[in-house]
Amino acid sequence: MNAISEVPMVAADDGQKRFRQTDVSAIRQAIRSGEFSSHTSGLAGGNVQGNVVILPKDAASDFLRFCQNNRRPCPIIGLSEPGDPMLTALGVDIDIRTDVPRYHVWENGVVIDKPTDVSHLWRDDLVTFVIGCSFSFEQALVESGVHIRHIEQGCNVPMFKTNIQTTPAGPFSGPMVVSMRPMKATDAIKAIQITSRYPEVHGAPVHIGDPSLIGISDLGRPDYGDAVDVRVGDIPVFWACGVTPQAALLQAKPAFCITHAPGSMLITDLLNHQLASF
Amino acid sequence: MNAISEVPMVAADDGQKRFRQTDVSAIRQAIRSGEFSSHTSGLAGGNVQGNVVILPKDAASDFLRFCQNNRRPCPIIGLSEPGDPMLTALGVDIDIRTDVPRYHVWENGVVIDKPTDVSHLWRDDLVTFVIGCSFSFEQALVESGVHIRHIEQGCNVPMFKTNIQTTPAGPFSGPMVVSMRPMKATDAIKAIQITSRYPEVHGAPVHIGDPSLIGISDLGRPDYGDAVDVRVGDIPVFWACGVTPQAALLQAKPAFCITHAPGSMLITDLLNHQLASF
């Protein structure tokens, strides 16, 4: 099984500098030309980044129902018409064939290529899904003074399979995957308030407190990402995670599929703040 | 020390019927005439009820600073001009001298009388404070399907002194008192979202999880109110409580003071829903 992660390895920082505003069009040009083909964490950090799934129309129909059935882990922020490579809802000039730094091309559940451009693979029946990512709400948390352990420790957010089952659609099914951020109770309360305003990037937590209640036996051994310190007085806070649809995809093994390479996400023109619902 | 409680003993119910809309003017008339002089829980349940503190101007000045310094436990929803017995912000015809079912009259920290009318004690220098009560947010919780244990068990909410100190003002000081509602994690998350909308009735919780982190050693032995069942999988959720200012008052022992008798609160014309901040 391929490594899956929404969040690439990043350097420890105070969480502020990663969300600074930057010139997104220059970055997009570097990505489009193939000059930049790496991880996007901290790049144009004030802009919304998204997980990308591209499927032929028939599988896309099942996958759309799966996302609709499981909106907390699979919030769709962009959806194309079949065959249309442009994502006008996410930016004036986003061409999904060229504007992801690196792609994974899948056949029957196996990665067969990792190109920086998929123009040569484009078909008239391909539908693009862009799914929200917790990067966006992390900006709001950091700016409100909430301490995010994995950012401070310079590693990936720990992610866990749970005993919460997704609602299946066609071949897509599987457990909900959650990301976990340990924090003080007062930060946890504030984090619930803040992320409730971001339904398009997973929204409020799905669980707080005892990990065993959602089928997690050991916080020190995440299924994806890295373990972080859990300190005395911390309460673990669990959010639905964008790895859930990727895991469902691996399980469904569609004949053909294109995704972003883990960590190399689509950078949109939207600002994280614009996703706040009030 | 006198028994202190925001919440009188009530019958177990599903939480719905206590918040039904009723004719508040008829109830106020019964209170004003002395016909009704008992507990107000479940009475005009859709209307905002308030804790009442009446102090001479000098002590009132200190108490106002205390409330301002400690807005979470002491949210002022009504404040009179010195000597004015009317509370027009809370209703068209609320006379604080007659419209509380039963009063406690205090001298130097001791209850000296428990009348149903304080007109004969009224003075030109008396200032009335009406402080919000968690009854109001409990309606929103119940209507959203959140299970409130003490309502379902037909007892008072358990309240605890904490190691969180209030910010003193003049003679007023002391620990923050909190109310505790144990609930499932998903209900706790929803309860944080809902009560965040009610800053005038204590707002979001001040703590979740481990009671010992705020100086509570045994959830089964509340300092005020009644113990409730805490079940496997429950997370205790703690809100700042309107008993905090009453406890500060007991400690300050002002020369003269009038309060509502525990559980016999002021019923206002405001509706609980009107306190929602968005």
pLDDT, tens digit, 9 for 90 and up, residues A112-151: 999 999 999 999 999 999 999 998 999 999 999 999 999 9
Domain assignment of residue A125, yes or no = yes
* Chain B: closest CA distance from residue A10 (Å): 30
Contact list, A233 vs chain B (CB under 8 Å): 210, 213
- Identify whether residues A141 and A269 lie together within a single domain: no
- Identify whether residues B27 and B119 lie together within a single domain: yes
pLDDT in tens, B133-157: 998 999 999 999 999 999 999 898 9
The low-confidence residues of chain A, meaning pLDDT below 50, are: 1-10
Query: How many separate domains does chain A show?
Result: 2
Say what percent of chain B tops pLDDT 70. 92
Give the pLDDT score at A2.
39
Kindly calculate the radius of gyration of chain A based on its CA atoms and give it in whole angstroms.
18
pLDDT at B269 over 60: yes
Give the pLDDT score at A122.
98
- Identify whether residues A261 and A130 lie together within a single domain: yes
User: pLDDT-based confidence at B3, cuts 50/70/90?
Assistant: very low
pLDDT at B6 over 60: no
The tokens of A219 are what? 């916080």
- Identify whether residues A191 and A114 lie together within a single domain: no
Query: What is the rounded CA–CA span in Å between residue A45 and residue B24?
Result: 54
Q: Are B186 and A207 in contact (CB < 8 Å)?
A: yes
Give the pLDDT score at A19.
64
Give the pLDDT score at B97.
98
pLDDT in tens, B211-227: 999 999 999 999 999 99
Chain B residues in contact with chain A using a Cβ-Cβ cutoff of 8 Å? 185-186, 188-189, 192-193, 196, 204-210, 213, 233, 235, 278
Domain assignment of residue B70, yes or no = yes
Contact list, A213 vs chain B (CB under 8 Å): 185, 233
Structure-token match 């997690």, residue found: A216
CATH of the domain at A61: 3.40.1640.10
pLDDT in tens, A202-213: 999 999 999 999
Q: Are B208 and A196 in contact (CB < 8 Å)?
A: no
- Identify whether residues B72 and B197 lie together within a single domain: no
Nearest-by-Cβ selection for B189 from A208, A233, A278: A208
Q: Are B213 and A204 in contact (CB < 8 Å)?
A: no
Give the pLDDT score at A43.
86
* Chain A: closest CA distance from residue B157 (Å): 21
- Identify whether residues B154 and B179 lie together within a single domain: yes
- Identify whether residues B250 and B237 lie together within a single domain: no
- Identify whether residues A130 and A152 lie together within a single domain: no
pLDDT in tens, B220-264: 999 999 999 999 999 999 999 999 998 999 999 999 999 999 889
User: pLDDT-based confidence at B12, cuts 50/70/90?
Assistant: low
The answer to whether B164 and B226 are in contact (CB under 8 A) is no
Query: What is the rounded CA–CA span in Å between residue A258 and residue B25?
Result: 67
Q: Are B185 and A208 in contact (CB < 8 Å)?
A: yes
Domain assignment of residue A68, yes or no = yes
Domain assignment of residue A173, yes or no = yes
User: pLDDT-based confidence at B23, cuts 50/70/90?
Assistant: confident
Give the pLDDT score at A3.
38
Each as own residue / partner, the long-range contacts of residues B96-99 (CB below 8 Å, 24 or more positions apart, any chain) are B96/B52, B96/B54, B96/B128, B96/B266, B97/B122, B98/B31, B98/B32, B99/B28, B99/B31, B99/B32, B99/B266, B99/B267
Which phi and psi (to 5°) does residue B51 adopt? -80, 140
**How much is the pTM?**
0.87
Domain membership of residue A40 as a residue range:
17-134+246-275
**DSSP code, position A4:** -
Domain assignment of residue B7, yes or no = no
- Identify whether residues B233 and B249 lie together within a single domain: no
Which residue in A192, A195, A207, A230 has the most chain B C-beta atoms within 10 A of its own C-beta, making it the best mutation to test that interface?
A192
Q: Which residues, in sequence order, are CB contacts of A66 under 8 Å at separation 6+?
A: A74, A166, A167, A168, A169, A170, A172, A173, A245, A248
- Identify whether residues A82 and A217 lie together within a single domain: no
CATH of the domain at A222: 3.30.2040.10
- Identify whether residues B87 and B196 lie together within a single domain: no
Domain assignment of residue A7, yes or no = no
* Chain B: closest CA distance from residue A190 (Å): 9
Domain assignment of residue B4, yes or no = no
Q: Are B204 and A193 in contact (CB < 8 Å)?
A: yes
* Chain B: closest CA distance from residue A194 (Å): 9
Nearest-by-Cβ selection for A193 from B186, B192, B233: B192
Q: Please state the ipTM of this predicted complex.
A: 0.84
Contact list, B144 vs chain A (CB under 8 Å): none
Give the pLDDT score at B218.
98
User: pLDDT-based confidence at B41, cuts 50/70/90?
Assistant: confident
* Chain B: closest CA distance from residue A5 (Å): 26
- Identify whether residues B113 and B24 lie together within a single domain: yes
Alpha-carbon distance values, B183 to A180, B141, B218 (Å): 21, 12, 17
pLDDT at B13 over 60: no
Domain assignment of residue A150, yes or no = yes
Contact list, B210 vs chain A (CB under 8 Å): 185, 233, 235
Query: What is the rounded CA–CA span in Å between residue B47 and residue B44?
Result: 6
* Chain A: closest CA distance from residue B89 (Å): 28
